[in-house]
Amino acid sequence: MQLKRPDIHMIAIAIPVILMLHVMFSTRTEGQTGSVTDVHDPCIIGFEDQYYIYCTGDKIQIRRSRDLILWEYLGKVFNSIPAWGIQEVPGVSNVWAPDISYFNGIYHLYYALSTFGSNRSCIGLATNATLDPGDADYHWVDQGKVFESYSGDNYNAIDANIVRSTDGKIWMSFGSFWSGIKMVELDSTTGKPVNSDLYHLAGRGGGAIEAPFIIYKDGYYYLFISFDLCCRGVNSTYNIRVGRSETVTGPYVDSWNMLMTSGGGTLLLSGNSRWKGPGHCAVLSEGAQYWLVYHVYDVQRNGRPVLRINNLIWDDSGWPVVQDTLYTEVTEKHVQPSLFYLYPNYPNPFNQDSVIHYQLPAAGHVKMTVFDVLGRVIDILVNERQEGGVHGIRFQGADCSSGIYFIELRFGECIAKRKMILMK
């Protein structure tokens, strides 16, 4: 499926070249605009030259954008809760947590029917030949129940996500609380399970874990999940974690090599003073470009859920990193790195580890050192010859005490410094 879309890059702009690049880039620091409030549990897909987001709301809300920035509300998928779901799940009042995918020539929208805090839940499926509401062939057809869980089960059948493995098989991960995240294989024709075999992907011993999303990149399947609590406005503690595996069914481990079935998960994104409880993410990938799509609770909107989209880049070890400042490219598609630049570490403040990215104008010897406030060397993160371009390194602060630290980056006669704050 060919899609016409802008590329999005993280670019360092310095005074010597700012006039040259001024027309090419517009900053996007405040995020998305238009119909972006009351977006919860978003999933995303490209269709023709536009993007579509489906989310929890009034029977699955639909939004559309041409540039990932300005979004318009298009209505909803269902006019009423499917009749079979009302019979199967007593007390159900809404349709939850959609996931959109395309296979076998049609679009598949998976959704959840449940009541808050219960694991008597069902995952359903609706299909469509097109995503454009203006198309004569546009019509959602409900295909009924796909998978279910009962009060006696140790899993919860909500928060479905579809991934195609490298051998062409279709898989559905799902789960919330209880024993954690599960997976079943689907028939590519029916979109429903081929058998009852369950695979266990991640868990926290009954603790808060949910909303899986899996992508494949460079030999690994990456499992994104949400830890802790959503749906509490400014008091939400949701945060996004990630692990990876060489096989789609696991085992998944985090960057510390801890099994995700034993509570592992590298922190990717947590809340800050403005945006609380980021979570239930999707990942949009187009070639080498990746975006993290998620909801967050906005303090300035009294805790209402809001759509956010951030650029994802990948460090030298193959782990994803969120870039919190985005640039939308307008004309040129490729701008070669030509600057020496030390990006702010992320997250900052941090309580365990933080990722530092830097840009080199050419090949040469680079040294990165971490100092404490007394000027003592805490760690030498890099001390080697590297190629020009953007590089990343993870600072592991587990053995350090809370406080202020300084990053110093040296490249030839160039020196850059940043402050980072460790809070335990």
pTM summary value: 0.73
Q: What is the pLDDT of residue 333?
A: 30
Catalytic position from the list 99, 185, 210, 324: 210
Report helix, strand and coil shares of the chain as percent, to nearest 5. 5, 50, 45
Tens digits of residue pLDDT in 208-259: 999 999 999 999 999 999 999 999 999 999 999 999 999 999 999 999 899 9
Residue 384 CA to residue 144 CA, distance in Å, equals: 58
Element (H, E) at 149: strand 141-149
Average pLDDT over every residue of 302-313: 93
Q: Is the pLDDT of residue 24 over 70?
A: no
Q: Based on the residue annotation, tell me whether 384 is a catalytic residue of this protein.
A: no
Lowest mean pLDDT among 289-293, 355-359, 403-407: 355-359
Q: pLDDT at residue 29 above 60?
A: no
pLDDT for the residue numbered 331: 27
Q: What is the DSSP letter of 152?
A: T
**In the chain, which segments carry CATH 2.60.40.1930?**
341-422
Residue 282 token pair: 């999707």
Q: How many CA atoms lie within 13 A of 30 on its CB side?
A: 5
Q: Which is higher by pLDDT, 326 or 196?
A: 196
What DSSP string describes 354-379? Answer: EEEEEEESSSEEEEEEEEETT--EEE
Is the pLDDT at 328 greater than 80, yes or no?
A: no
- CA 242 – CA 355 distance, rounded (Å): 14
Residues 192-200 have a mean pLDDT of: 96
Lowest pLDDT segment from 131-140, 250-259, 297-306, 411-420: 411-420
Q: What is the mean pLDDT of residues 358-366?
A: 88
DSSP 194-250: SSS--EEEE--TTSSEEEEEEEEETTEEEEEEEES--SSGGG---EEEEEEESSTT-
Alpha-carbon distance of 278 to 42, in angstroms, equals 12
Q: Residue 321 pLDDT more than 70?
A: yes
pLDDT of residue 324: 56
pLDDT above 70: residue 205: yes
The pLDDT of residue 208 is 96
Q: Confidence band (pLDDT; 50, 70, 90) for 348? A: confident
**Is the pLDDT score of 4 beyond 70?**
no
Mean pLDDT throughout 81-89?
Answer: 96
Query: Does position 8 have pLDDT exceeding 60, yes or no?
Result: no
Considering only residues 99 and 24, tell me which one the structure prediction assigns the higher pLDDT. Answer: 99
pLDDT value, residue 18:
25
Instruction: Give the pLDDT of residue 108.
Output: 98
Residue-level pLDDT at 217: 97
In the annotation, is 210 catalytic? yes
Name which residue leads in pLDDT, 20 or 140: 140
Every domain range in the chain assigned CATH 2.115.10.20? 8-329
* Confidence check: pLDDT of 3 > 80: no
What is the per-residue pLDDT for 390? 77
73-110 burial string, b = 16+ CB within 10 Å, else e?
ebeebbeebbeebeebbeebebbbbbbbbbeeeebbbb
Kindly tell me the sign of the dihedral angle through the C-alpha atoms of 256, 258, 260, 262: negative
The model's pLDDT over 384-396, given as tens digits with 9 standing for 90+, comes to 999 887 788 889 9
The pLDDT, as a whole number, for residue 412 is 87
Find the range with the poorest average confidence among 68-72, 171-175, 194-198. Answer: 68-72
Contacts of 358 (CB under 8 A, 6+ apart): 341, 342, 343, 366, 368, 390, 391, 392, 409, 416
Q: Is the pLDDT of residue 9 over 60?
A: no
Q: Are 342 and 418 in contact (CB under 8 A)?
A: yes
State whether CATH 2.115.10.20 applies to domain 8-329.
yes
CATH topology of domain 341-422: Immunoglobulin-like (2.60.40)
